[in-house]
Amino acid sequence: MIYRGSGTGNVARIALARVIVGCLLLLPLVVSADESGAGTGDLPVESVFVLMRSAIGREVPYRPGLLEVTGALHVGNRADADGRVSAFQLTLDRSASRKSSSTSHSSSAKGESR
């Protein structure tokens, strides 16, 4: 099913042997992990796979702090191009609006710029 959705969370900092391009993982808590053991399998079930169409084919750099995202929310297990399965996926809106807070360490990015 596809819904209109938005959320705020922390970008996962994961050291993978193969870089995930064009996307990031958004979590309700701060997470740093590597591929040892279960790799991304140790991430909380609440993890949201966020696809950034403007970054397809490019690595999305890690950024600390909270990130707000808005777009089309897909609910249900889906595999990405590399075979990773996630229960929640959000495809960002294409929007030029970006906000950042200079008074705190959190920042906000609604949608993505073209």
Q: What are the structural domains of the chain?
A: 2-108 (2.40.50)
Structure tokens at 59: 């690595």
Q: Whole-model pTM above 0.85?
A: no
Residue 75: CB partners within 8 Å, gap ≥ 6?
1, 2, 3, 87, 88
Identify the pLDDT of residue 50. Answer: 92
C-beta of residue 31 within 8 angstroms of C-beta of residue 38: no
91 confidence band (pLDDT: 50, 70, 90): very high
110 confidence band (pLDDT: 50, 70, 90): very low
Identify the pLDDT of residue 105. Answer: 41
27-57 pLDDT tens trace: 998 887 766 655 566 778 888 989 988 888 8
